[in-house]
Amino acid sequence: MIRFSAPTSIIFGEGAVLELSAELEKLQAKSVLAIYDQGIKSTGLIDTIFGRLIAEGLTIYQFDQVIANPTDNSIEAAANEFKGKQIDVIVAIGGGSSIDSAKAINVLLTNEAPIQQYEGIDQVPNPTVPLIAIETAAGTGSEVTSVSVVTCTKRKKKMVISGKYTTPTVAILDPQLTVGLPPQVTASTGCDALTHAIESYVSTLANPFTEIHSLKAIELIYQNLPTAVKDGQNLTARSRVLMGSTLAGMAFNVAILGIAHSIAHPLGAHFNVPYGLANAMALAETVKYNARFAAEKYQKVGVAMGLGADCQAEDVVKALEELNVELNIPALNTTGIQRADFDIIAKAAMEEPSNDMNPAPVSYEMFMDVLEKIYEK
Ligand SMILES: NC(=O)c1ccc[n+]([C@@H]2O[C@H](COP(=O)([O-])OP(=O)(O)OC[C@H]3O[C@@H](n4cnc5c(N)ncnc54)[C@H](O)[C@@H]3O)[C@@H](O)[C@H]2O)c1
Ligand SMILES: [Zn+2]
Protein backbone atom coordinates (compact mmCIF):
# COMPACT_ATOMS: atom_id res chain seq x y z
CA MET A 1 0.00 0.00 0.00
CA ILE A 2 1.30 3.43 -0.92
CA ARG A 3 0.75 6.25 1.54
CA PHE A 4 1.56 9.93 1.24
CA SER A 5 0.52 12.82 3.39
CA ALA A 6 1.54 16.49 3.51
CA PRO A 7 -0.83 18.02 6.05
CA THR A 8 0.92 21.37 6.65
CA SER A 9 -0.56 24.29 4.78
CA ILE A 10 2.17 26.26 2.97
CA ILE A 11 2.39 29.99 2.28
CA PHE A 12 5.38 30.69 0.04
CA GLY A 13 6.77 33.84 -1.54
CA GLU A 14 8.37 37.22 -0.99
CA GLY A 15 6.41 39.00 1.73
CA ALA A 16 4.77 35.77 2.95
CA VAL A 17 5.65 36.69 6.53
CA LEU A 18 3.07 39.49 6.33
CA GLU A 19 0.42 36.73 6.27
CA LEU A 20 1.24 35.75 9.85
CA SER A 21 -1.31 38.11 11.32
CA ALA A 22 -4.15 36.77 9.12
CA GLU A 23 -3.15 33.16 9.93
CA LEU A 24 -3.24 33.91 13.65
CA GLU A 25 -6.66 35.48 13.23
CA LYS A 26 -7.93 32.36 11.43
CA LEU A 27 -6.72 30.33 14.38
CA GLN A 28 -8.46 32.80 16.73
CA ALA A 29 -5.22 33.43 18.56
CA LYS A 30 -5.10 36.11 21.23
CA SER A 31 -2.00 34.91 22.99
CA VAL A 32 1.09 33.58 21.21
CA LEU A 33 4.36 31.95 22.29
CA ALA A 34 7.23 32.93 19.97
CA ILE A 35 10.22 30.56 19.93
CA TYR A 36 13.59 31.39 18.36
CA ASP A 37 17.34 31.55 19.01
CA GLN A 38 19.87 34.32 19.53
CA GLY A 39 21.03 34.15 15.90
CA ILE A 40 17.55 35.10 14.68
CA LYS A 41 17.19 37.69 17.40
CA SER A 42 20.37 39.43 16.19
CA THR A 43 18.92 39.82 12.68
CA GLY A 44 16.21 42.19 13.97
CA LEU A 45 13.50 40.02 12.40
CA ILE A 46 11.81 39.38 15.72
CA ASP A 47 11.14 43.05 16.49
CA THR A 48 9.72 43.62 13.01
CA ILE A 49 7.45 40.58 13.03
CA PHE A 50 6.19 40.73 16.60
CA GLY A 51 6.12 44.53 16.91
CA ARG A 52 3.28 44.46 14.40
CA LEU A 53 1.38 41.79 16.33
CA ILE A 54 1.77 43.58 19.66
CA ALA A 55 0.42 46.74 18.00
CA GLU A 56 -2.59 44.67 16.88
CA GLY A 57 -3.28 43.82 20.54
CA LEU A 58 -1.96 40.24 20.74
CA THR A 59 -0.19 39.01 23.85
CA ILE A 60 3.25 37.71 22.86
CA TYR A 61 5.30 35.48 25.18
CA GLN A 62 8.85 34.92 23.98
CA PHE A 63 11.36 32.12 24.44
CA ASP A 64 14.68 33.21 22.93
CA GLN A 65 17.00 30.56 24.41
CA VAL A 66 16.80 27.87 21.69
CA ILE A 67 20.14 26.05 21.35
CA ALA A 68 21.63 24.26 18.34
CA ASN A 69 20.98 20.50 18.44
CA PRO A 70 18.29 21.10 21.14
CA THR A 71 18.38 18.88 24.23
CA ASP A 72 15.81 17.38 26.61
CA ASN A 73 16.97 19.82 29.32
CA SER A 74 16.55 22.89 27.13
CA ILE A 75 13.03 21.79 26.12
CA GLU A 76 11.93 21.01 29.66
CA ALA A 77 13.27 24.32 31.02
CA ALA A 78 11.27 26.22 28.40
CA ALA A 79 8.11 24.20 29.01
CA ASN A 80 8.34 24.84 32.78
CA GLU A 81 8.52 28.56 32.12
CA PHE A 82 5.35 28.69 30.01
CA LYS A 83 3.18 25.82 31.30
CA GLY A 84 -0.06 27.15 32.76
CA LYS A 85 -0.04 30.32 30.66
CA GLN A 86 -2.84 30.82 28.14
CA ILE A 87 -1.14 30.03 24.81
CA ASP A 88 -3.36 29.72 21.74
CA VAL A 89 -0.70 29.29 19.06
CA ILE A 90 3.07 28.76 18.98
CA VAL A 91 5.11 30.58 16.34
CA ALA A 92 8.60 29.22 15.67
CA ILE A 93 11.06 31.34 13.70
CA GLY A 94 14.40 30.05 12.52
CA GLY A 95 15.95 26.81 11.36
CA GLY A 96 15.41 23.25 12.51
CA SER A 97 16.67 23.93 16.03
CA SER A 98 13.99 26.56 16.65
CA ILE A 99 11.18 24.68 14.92
CA ASP A 100 12.04 21.34 16.57
CA SER A 101 12.30 23.05 19.97
CA ALA A 102 8.87 24.60 19.40
CA LYS A 103 7.37 21.20 18.50
CA ALA A 104 8.77 19.57 21.64
CA ILE A 105 7.92 22.49 23.96
CA ASN A 106 4.39 22.37 22.54
CA VAL A 107 4.19 18.70 23.55
CA LEU A 108 5.23 19.47 27.12
CA LEU A 109 2.71 22.31 27.51
CA THR A 110 -0.13 19.76 27.46
CA ASN A 111 1.73 16.55 28.37
CA GLU A 112 3.90 15.69 31.37
CA ALA A 113 7.71 15.71 31.23
CA PRO A 114 10.08 13.98 30.58
CA ILE A 115 10.08 14.32 26.81
CA GLN A 116 11.82 10.91 26.46
CA GLN A 117 8.55 9.04 27.01
CA TYR A 118 7.18 10.37 23.69
CA GLU A 119 10.06 9.10 21.55
CA GLY A 120 8.75 7.26 18.47
CA ILE A 121 5.66 7.68 16.32
CA ASP A 122 2.38 9.06 17.73
CA GLN A 123 3.33 8.46 21.37
CA VAL A 124 2.00 11.86 22.54
CA PRO A 125 -1.42 11.37 24.19
CA ASN A 126 -2.79 14.93 24.61
CA PRO A 127 -3.36 17.32 21.70
CA THR A 128 -1.03 20.29 21.28
CA VAL A 129 -1.83 23.86 20.18
CA PRO A 130 -1.43 24.87 16.49
CA LEU A 131 2.15 25.62 15.44
CA ILE A 132 3.11 28.13 12.75
CA ALA A 133 6.66 27.50 11.51
CA ILE A 134 8.55 30.33 9.81
CA GLU A 135 11.61 28.68 8.27
CA THR A 136 14.62 30.95 7.79
CA ALA A 137 17.55 28.55 7.23
CA ALA A 138 16.31 26.58 4.17
CA GLY A 139 17.70 23.27 5.40
CA THR A 140 15.88 20.76 7.54
CA GLY A 141 12.36 20.95 6.11
CA SER A 142 11.13 20.80 9.72
CA GLU A 143 8.43 23.32 8.78
CA VAL A 144 6.55 20.52 6.98
CA THR A 145 7.67 17.37 8.80
CA SER A 146 6.04 15.51 11.66
CA VAL A 147 9.40 15.17 13.39
CA SER A 148 11.03 16.90 16.34
CA VAL A 149 14.64 15.88 16.92
CA VAL A 150 15.75 16.30 20.53
CA THR A 151 19.03 15.11 22.03
CA CYS A 152 18.70 12.84 25.06
CA THR A 153 21.62 14.06 27.18
CA LYS A 154 21.95 10.84 29.18
CA ARG A 155 22.08 8.52 26.17
CA LYS A 156 23.79 11.10 23.90
CA LYS A 157 21.24 10.18 21.28
CA LYS A 158 19.12 12.20 18.92
CA MET A 159 15.58 11.08 19.77
CA VAL A 160 12.86 11.40 17.17
CA ILE A 161 9.44 12.44 18.43
CA SER A 162 7.05 12.18 15.53
CA GLY A 163 3.34 12.36 14.84
CA LYS A 164 0.28 14.48 14.28
CA TYR A 165 0.82 16.58 17.42
CA THR A 166 4.32 17.61 16.31
CA THR A 167 3.36 18.52 12.72
CA PRO A 168 3.18 22.27 12.00
CA THR A 169 -0.28 23.57 11.06
CA VAL A 170 1.09 26.29 8.78
CA ALA A 171 4.54 26.84 7.22
CA ILE A 172 5.42 30.39 6.23
CA LEU A 173 8.26 30.52 3.72
CA ASP A 174 9.49 33.96 2.83
CA PRO A 175 12.77 33.96 0.86
CA GLN A 176 13.46 37.53 2.00
CA LEU A 177 13.94 36.21 5.54
CA THR A 178 16.80 33.99 4.34
CA VAL A 179 18.98 36.70 2.75
CA GLY A 180 20.81 37.33 6.05
CA LEU A 181 21.83 33.70 6.48
CA PRO A 182 25.67 33.74 6.48
CA PRO A 183 27.39 31.99 3.52
CA GLN A 184 28.82 29.06 5.53
CA VAL A 185 25.45 28.35 7.19
CA THR A 186 23.70 28.66 3.81
CA ALA A 187 26.14 26.11 2.40
CA SER A 188 25.71 23.56 5.16
CA THR A 189 21.92 23.85 5.58
CA GLY A 190 21.59 23.72 1.77
CA CYS A 191 23.70 20.56 1.63
CA ASP A 192 21.52 19.05 4.36
CA ALA A 193 18.45 19.77 2.21
CA LEU A 194 20.19 18.23 -0.82
CA THR A 195 20.97 15.17 1.32
CA HIS A 196 17.26 14.91 2.24
CA ALA A 197 16.32 15.12 -1.43
CA ILE A 198 18.82 12.47 -2.59
CA GLU A 199 18.42 10.07 0.34
CA SER A 200 14.61 10.19 0.20
CA TYR A 201 14.76 9.52 -3.56
CA VAL A 202 16.93 6.38 -3.29
CA SER A 203 15.22 5.18 -0.09
CA THR A 204 13.55 1.78 -0.22
CA LEU A 205 10.42 3.53 1.10
CA ALA A 206 10.27 6.00 -1.82
CA ASN A 207 7.07 5.97 -3.88
CA PRO A 208 5.92 8.04 -6.87
CA PHE A 209 4.40 10.67 -4.57
CA THR A 210 7.68 11.21 -2.72
CA GLU A 211 9.94 10.80 -5.77
CA ILE A 212 8.41 13.73 -7.61
CA HIS A 213 9.12 15.98 -4.61
CA SER A 214 12.66 14.61 -4.22
CA LEU A 215 13.61 15.12 -7.88
CA LYS A 216 12.31 18.70 -8.03
CA ALA A 217 14.12 19.41 -4.77
CA ILE A 218 17.41 18.02 -6.16
CA GLU A 219 17.10 20.24 -9.23
CA LEU A 220 16.22 23.41 -7.29
CA ILE A 221 18.86 22.98 -4.59
CA TYR A 222 21.83 21.69 -6.60
CA GLN A 223 21.39 24.22 -9.41
CA ASN A 224 20.93 27.26 -7.13
CA LEU A 225 22.86 26.63 -3.92
CA PRO A 226 26.25 27.96 -5.13
CA THR A 227 24.63 31.27 -6.15
CA ALA A 228 22.72 31.52 -2.86
CA VAL A 229 26.02 31.01 -0.99
CA LYS A 230 28.11 33.44 -3.05
CA ASP A 231 25.44 36.07 -3.60
CA GLY A 232 23.16 35.91 -0.57
CA GLN A 233 21.12 38.87 -1.83
CA ASN A 234 20.05 36.95 -4.93
CA LEU A 235 16.37 36.40 -4.17
CA THR A 236 15.79 34.05 -7.09
CA ALA A 237 18.47 31.64 -5.86
CA ARG A 238 17.35 32.03 -2.23
CA SER A 239 13.76 31.37 -3.23
CA ARG A 240 14.61 28.22 -5.19
CA VAL A 241 16.79 26.77 -2.44
CA LEU A 242 14.06 27.48 0.14
CA MET A 243 11.41 25.85 -2.04
CA GLY A 244 13.72 22.87 -2.66
CA SER A 245 14.36 22.39 1.05
CA THR A 246 10.61 22.30 1.78
CA LEU A 247 9.92 19.88 -1.09
CA ALA A 248 12.68 17.65 0.26
CA GLY A 249 11.03 17.80 3.70
CA MET A 250 7.72 16.67 2.18
CA ALA A 251 9.52 13.73 0.55
CA PHE A 252 11.57 12.51 3.50
CA ASN A 253 8.67 12.91 5.90
CA VAL A 254 7.32 9.79 4.17
CA ALA A 255 10.33 8.09 2.51
CA ILE A 256 12.76 8.79 5.42
CA LEU A 257 16.52 9.06 4.86
CA GLY A 258 19.75 7.08 4.56
CA ILE A 259 23.27 6.58 5.86
CA ALA A 260 24.58 10.15 5.55
CA HIS A 261 22.06 10.94 8.27
CA SER A 262 23.07 7.85 10.26
CA ILE A 263 26.54 9.45 10.47
CA ALA A 264 25.31 13.04 10.95
CA HIS A 265 23.16 12.26 13.98
CA PRO A 266 25.94 10.89 16.23
CA LEU A 267 28.29 13.64 15.03
CA GLY A 268 25.74 16.11 16.42
CA ALA A 269 24.72 14.17 19.53
CA HIS A 270 28.25 13.24 20.70
CA PHE A 271 30.37 16.07 19.32
CA ASN A 272 27.87 18.90 18.67
CA VAL A 273 28.96 19.18 15.02
CA PRO A 274 26.45 21.54 13.32
CA TYR A 275 23.82 19.30 11.80
CA GLY A 276 23.88 20.63 8.23
CA LEU A 277 27.66 20.52 8.13
CA ALA A 278 27.73 16.90 9.30
CA ASN A 279 25.48 15.91 6.39
CA ALA A 280 27.47 17.98 3.92
CA MET A 281 30.67 16.18 4.94
CA ALA A 282 29.09 12.73 4.65
CA LEU A 283 26.94 13.00 1.50
CA ALA A 284 29.33 12.36 -1.44
CA GLU A 285 31.13 9.43 0.21
CA THR A 286 27.87 7.72 1.20
CA VAL A 287 26.54 8.08 -2.36
CA LYS A 288 29.77 6.45 -3.56
CA TYR A 289 29.17 3.53 -1.21
CA ASN A 290 25.48 3.17 -2.19
CA ALA A 291 26.01 3.70 -5.94
CA ARG A 292 25.99 0.14 -7.25
CA PHE A 293 22.89 -0.76 -5.21
CA ALA A 294 20.73 1.94 -6.82
CA ALA A 295 22.53 2.77 -10.07
CA GLU A 296 19.41 3.60 -12.08
CA LYS A 297 18.07 5.91 -9.43
CA TYR A 298 21.37 7.77 -9.10
CA GLN A 299 21.33 8.25 -12.87
CA LYS A 300 17.99 10.06 -12.46
CA VAL A 301 19.47 12.06 -9.59
CA GLY A 302 22.23 13.14 -12.01
CA VAL A 303 19.67 14.19 -14.62
CA ALA A 304 17.84 16.30 -12.03
CA MET A 305 21.17 17.90 -11.10
CA GLY A 306 21.58 18.83 -14.77
CA LEU A 307 24.50 16.46 -15.46
CA GLY A 308 22.99 15.24 -18.75
CA ALA A 309 20.94 12.23 -19.85
CA ASP A 310 24.02 9.96 -20.12
CA CYS A 311 25.32 10.58 -16.61
CA GLN A 312 26.06 7.75 -14.19
CA ALA A 313 26.23 7.41 -10.41
CA GLU A 314 30.01 8.20 -10.58
CA ASP A 315 29.19 11.56 -12.15
CA VAL A 316 26.84 12.32 -9.26
CA VAL A 317 29.62 11.51 -6.75
CA LYS A 318 32.10 13.69 -8.63
CA ALA A 319 29.63 16.59 -8.84
CA LEU A 320 28.92 16.34 -5.10
CA GLU A 321 32.65 16.30 -4.30
CA GLU A 322 33.13 19.38 -6.49
CA LEU A 323 30.17 21.07 -4.81
CA ASN A 324 31.83 20.60 -1.40
CA VAL A 325 35.03 22.19 -2.72
CA GLU A 326 33.09 25.09 -4.25
CA LEU A 327 31.15 25.65 -1.02
CA ASN A 328 34.24 25.29 1.24
CA ILE A 329 32.79 22.39 3.21
CA PRO A 330 35.63 21.38 5.54
CA ALA A 331 36.87 17.85 6.25
CA LEU A 332 35.83 16.01 9.43
CA ASN A 333 39.22 16.60 11.12
CA THR A 334 38.45 20.33 11.42
CA THR A 335 35.69 19.59 13.98
CA GLY A 336 38.08 18.44 16.71
CA ILE A 337 37.04 14.80 16.29
CA GLN A 338 39.96 12.32 16.56
CA ARG A 339 40.34 9.02 14.73
CA ALA A 340 39.95 7.36 18.15
CA ASP A 341 36.37 8.70 18.20
CA PHE A 342 35.36 6.83 15.03
CA ASP A 343 34.42 3.72 16.99
CA ILE A 344 31.79 5.57 19.06
CA ILE A 345 30.36 7.25 15.93
CA ALA A 346 30.24 4.04 13.87
CA LYS A 347 28.59 2.10 16.72
CA ALA A 348 25.97 4.85 17.16
CA ALA A 349 25.44 5.03 13.38
CA MET A 350 24.64 1.30 13.38
CA GLU A 351 21.68 2.04 15.70
CA GLU A 352 20.13 4.69 13.45
CA PRO A 353 16.66 3.88 12.01
CA SER A 354 17.46 5.34 8.56
CA ASN A 355 19.81 2.38 7.92
CA ASP A 356 16.68 0.29 7.35
CA MET A 357 15.63 2.18 4.20
CA ASN A 358 19.13 2.76 2.81
CA PRO A 359 19.46 1.05 -0.60
CA ALA A 360 22.69 -0.74 0.44
CA PRO A 361 23.20 -2.90 3.53
CA VAL A 362 25.17 -1.25 6.32
CA SER A 363 28.00 -2.47 8.55
CA TYR A 364 30.24 -1.12 11.29
CA GLU A 365 33.25 -1.52 8.95
CA MET A 366 31.52 0.53 6.24
CA PHE A 367 30.84 3.40 8.67
CA MET A 368 34.47 3.27 9.87
CA ASP A 369 35.63 3.38 6.25
CA VAL A 370 33.39 6.35 5.35
CA LEU A 371 34.59 8.25 8.43
CA GLU A 372 38.22 7.65 7.41
CA LYS A 373 37.52 8.85 3.86
CA ILE A 374 35.89 12.10 4.99
CA TYR A 375 38.43 12.77 7.76
CA GLU A 376 41.01 14.59 5.65
CA LYS A 377 40.70 16.42 2.39
N1 LIG B 1 12.36 18.11 12.28
C2 LIG B 1 12.96 17.68 11.20
O3 LIG B 1 12.31 17.20 10.29
C4 LIG B 1 14.43 17.79 11.14
C5 LIG B 1 15.09 17.34 10.00
C6 LIG B 1 16.45 17.47 9.96
C7 LIG B 1 17.14 18.02 11.03
N8 LIG B 1 16.51 18.43 12.14
C9 LIG B 1 17.22 19.05 13.30
O10 LIG B 1 17.31 20.46 13.08
C11 LIG B 1 18.49 20.98 13.75
C12 LIG B 1 19.33 21.76 12.77
O13 LIG B 1 18.64 22.83 12.18
P14 LIG B 1 19.32 23.81 11.10
O15 LIG B 1 20.33 23.07 10.33
O16 LIG B 1 18.24 24.48 10.38
O17 LIG B 1 20.16 24.82 11.98
P18 LIG B 1 19.76 25.84 13.16
O19 LIG B 1 18.30 25.95 13.35
O20 LIG B 1 20.58 25.44 14.36
O21 LIG B 1 20.27 27.22 12.56
C22 LIG B 1 21.63 27.38 12.21
C23 LIG B 1 22.08 28.81 12.52
O24 LIG B 1 21.53 29.69 11.56
C25 LIG B 1 21.01 30.84 12.21
N26 LIG B 1 19.97 31.40 11.34
C27 LIG B 1 18.84 30.79 10.92
N28 LIG B 1 18.19 31.56 10.06
C29 LIG B 1 18.91 32.71 9.93
C30 LIG B 1 18.75 33.89 9.15
N31 LIG B 1 17.72 34.05 8.33
N32 LIG B 1 19.71 34.83 9.25
C33 LIG B 1 20.78 34.67 10.05
N34 LIG B 1 20.98 33.57 10.79
C35 LIG B 1 20.05 32.60 10.74
C36 LIG B 1 20.53 30.34 13.55
O37 LIG B 1 20.44 31.38 14.49
C38 LIG B 1 21.64 29.34 13.89
O39 LIG B 1 22.72 30.00 14.48
C40 LIG B 1 19.23 19.76 14.30
O41 LIG B 1 18.96 19.62 15.68
C42 LIG B 1 18.65 18.60 13.50
O43 LIG B 1 18.75 17.37 14.18
C44 LIG B 1 15.16 18.33 12.19
ZN1 LIG C 1 19.02 16.32 7.47
The series of mean pLDDT values per 10 residues for the chain, 377 residues long, is 96 98 98 98 94 94 96 98 97 98 98 97 98 98 98 93 98 97 97 98 98 98 98 98 98 98 95 94 98 97 97 98 97 97 98 97 98 94
Q: How many CA atoms lie within 13 A of 357 on its CB side?
A: 21
Name the residue at shortest CA distance from atom 2 of ligand 1: 142
For the packed helices 208-230 and 313-326, what is the interaxial angle rounded to 10 degrees?
30
C-alpha 141 – ligand 1 centre gap (Å): 10
**Ligand number, closest to the Cα atom of 262:** 2
The residue contributing the CA closest to ligand 1 atom 7 is 140
Q: Whose CA is nearest to atom 32 of ligand 1?
A: 181
Which pTM value belongs to this model? 0.97
Strands 9-12 and 131-135, bridge-based pairing: unpaired
Residue 273 C-alpha from the chain's centroid? 14
Of 8, 145, 38, which is closest to residue 98 (Cα–Cα)?
A: 38
167 lines ligand 1 (CB under 6 A): no
Nearest ligand 1 atom to alpha carbon 39: 37
Return the pLDDT at 377: 78
Residues 6+ apart with CB under 8 A from 147: 100, 103, 160, 161, 162, 166, 253
- From 17, 64, 149, give the residue whose CB has the most ligand 1 atoms within 8 Å, as the site to mutate: 149
CB 35 within 8 A of CB 75: no
Residue 360 CA neighbour count, 13 Å, CB half: 19
Does any ligand 1 atom lie closer than 6 A to the CB of residue 279?
Answer: no
> Which numbered atom of ligand 1 lies nearest the CA of 158?
43
pLDDT reported for residue 340 = 98
The ligand placed nearest to the CA atom of residue 158 is 1
Nearest CA to ligand 1 atom 41: 69
Best residue for ligand 1 mutational test, from 185, 186, 242 (most atoms within 8 Å of Cβ): 185
Protein residue whose Cα sits closest to atom 6 of ligand 1: 140
Q: Ligand 1 atom 43: the closest Cα is on which residue?
A: 149
Q: Which helix (H) or strand (E) holds 172?
A: strand 170-173
Dist. CA 260 → ligand 2 center (Å): 9
Q: In sequence order, what are the residues at sequence separation of 6 or more whose Cβ sits closer than 8 angstroms to the Cβ of residue 182?
A: 232
Tell how far the Cα of 98 is from the centroid of ligand 1, in angstroms: 7
Ligand 1 neighbourhood includes 136 CB (under 6 angstroms): yes
